[in-house]
Amino acid sequence: RFVSNHTPSLLNPSAAVKRARNDSGNKVAVVLGAQWGDEGKGKVVDLLATESDVVCRCQGGNNAGHTVVVDEEEYDFHLLPSGIINTKCTSFIGNGVVIHLPGLFEEIDKNEKRGLKGWDKRLVISDRAHIVFDFHQAVDGLQEVQRQAQEGQNIGTTKKGIGPTYACKASRTGLRICDLMADFGEFSTRVKNLVLQYQSMYPALKVDVESELKKLKDYAERIRPLIRDGVYFMYDAIHGPPKKILVEGANAALLDIDFGTYPFVTSSNCTVGGVCTGLGIPPANIGEVYGVSKAYTTRVGIGAFPTEQLNAVGELLQTRGHEVGVTTGRKRRCALWFYVLDEIKVGVAYKINGKRVPYFPANMEVLQKVEVEYETFPGWKTDTSAVRKWSDLPPKAQNYIRFVENRIGVPIKWVGVGKSRECMIQMF
């Protein structure tokens, strides 16, 4: 029997294995919301996107609203990664995102009018992403009405159909982009069955399924050139030539379905685990993770908010900070801050029955009742929006920032002092 000298021994690692031992591939940098959303993720993503080759969304849907201000022009993004304005970068919508196609095109049209060009050459969509239908949005509204009637309060969702779509995904009745790309007759049957299921739960639900399908057929042809196998797309981005890859988190840590203020949360994992599952990449490829926080906290919608300022301070923050939801236009609830104030209080611990707890309580009734322990700092009472260097910040502001940094034990990389691209102080 002839045995080639070139037959590799099964006991020796292949070239790919040897490579993987030394190098797991390109890393992705991640930007996440550390509070209740609206921290200014769009601005940080915009800063990093200028040197990125790929910008990805991995979870959430058009419940997100990310504002980017470039040369006085204000863009707002909901489903599109904010990197889409960077002409050198590919924007990727991963499998963990839920996509409302009419919303996507509305957003594209709006941003085209503001000067966005060539997006169709730079946008890639995973074939595994789930589809948000108009009736998911209607059901989102009906569920809110039901919650209000049964419990006397709702969640205050964005009514973008996010919860119902992720629920369908988990109950395995959802439809994905790959289904829309395949046989349309089969797709239509599954959509109609889903509508029937919903109508048996919500008899008041009216759906014009034929007209929704007709619109989807048109959208399907418009997005067809953008659809890829998302897992392979990411594999290639990671293991191909060196690339800078950035992930734009949507929503925020305290809205995370596992770690947030459940049930007043969104329906996806907005913390770092969502990056791996929402893109199909291993943890070893996660590089720098940046959490974005405001100097004060805000929250839209309902739910425990222990440091909330239901007083003149809260009103001042709301108006001075222009705290209005980008997605829903609702006023944001506000808690504690900065330069116009004589003193700034920082919540440093929660107490239950007078005893400090070293964790964030899971149960909402408990969280509603916690007592907050504050540390107080003198306010600097000067406008800092023109400051670009750390050394030019008032010492009282520096003091406050260093205190926060030491308390959380995480180095602060940038301090934002205003809305637009230039309004950033880089710390290291």
Site for ligand IMO in 301-320 (CB under 6 A): 301
Which lies closer to Mg ion via its Cβ, residue 39 or residue 134?
A: 39
397 lies in the site for ligand IMO, by CB under 6 A: no
Site for ligand IMO in 20-79 (CB under 6 A): 33, 37-38, 63-66
Which lies closer to ligand IMO via its Cβ, residue 52 or residue 261?
A: 261
Q: Which stretch binds Mg ion (CB under 5 A): 151-159, 325-333, 362-370, 391-399?
A: 325-333
Host H or E run for residue 323: none
The residue within the footprint of Mg ion, chosen from 26, 33, 38, 55 (CB under 5 A), is: 38
Burial class of residue 135 (count of CB atoms within 10 Å of its CB; 0-12, 13-18, 19+): buried
The residue within the footprint of ligand IMO, chosen from 59, 143, 158, 309 (CB under 6 A), is: 158
Site for Mg ion in 180-239 (CB under 5 A): none
Is 120 an active-site residue? no
- Could you tell me which of 61, 410, 408, 386 has the C-alpha nearest to residue 255? 61
Please name the residue that has the structure tokens 């003198």. Answer: 378
Are 271 and 34 in contact by the 8 Å Cβ rule? The answer is no
Distance (Å, rounded) from C-alpha 52 to C-alpha 88?
8
Q: What would the DSSP string read from start to end of 216-261?
A: HHHHHHHHGGGEE-HHHHHHHHHHSS---EEEE--S-GGG-TTTSS
Is 23 an active-site residue? no
Active-site option among 136, 169, 294, 345: 169
Distance (Å, rounded) from C-alpha 205 to C-alpha 129?
25
The residue within the footprint of ligand IMO, chosen from 68, 89, 216, 250 (CB under 6 A), is: 250
How far is the CA of 320 from the CAs of 235, 316, 317, in angstroms? 45, 6, 5
Distance (Å, rounded) from C-alpha 140 to C-alpha 68?
28
Which lies closer to ligand IMO via its Cβ, residue 305 or residue 380?
A: 305
Known binding residue 145? Answer is: no
- Could you tell me which of 250, 258, 265, 260 has the C-alpha nearest to residue 155? 265
Site mask for ligand IMO (CB under 6 A), range 197-226, x = bound? ------------------------------
- Could you tell me which of 64, 53, 60, 140 has the C-alpha nearest to residue 107? 64
81 lies in the site for ligand IMO, by CB under 6 A: no
Q: Give just the sign of the alpha carbon dihedral 145, 146, 151, 156.
A: negative
Known binding residue 413? Answer is: no
Distance (Å, rounded) from C-alpha 292 to C-alpha 66?
13
Known binding residue 266? Answer is: yes
Is 169 an active-site residue? yes
| Binding site as annotated, residues | 37-43, 63-67, 158, 172, 251, 266, 326-332, 416-418
| Binding site as annotated, residues for Mg(2+) | 38, 65
Residues of this chain that bind Mg ion (CB under 5 A) = 37-38, 65, 326
Give catalytic residues, as residue numbers.
38, 66, 169
Residues of this chain that bind ligand IMO (CB under 6 A) = 33, 37-38, 63-66, 155-158, 160, 162-163, 250-252, 255, 266-267, 300-301
| Binding site as annotated, residues for substrate | 326-332
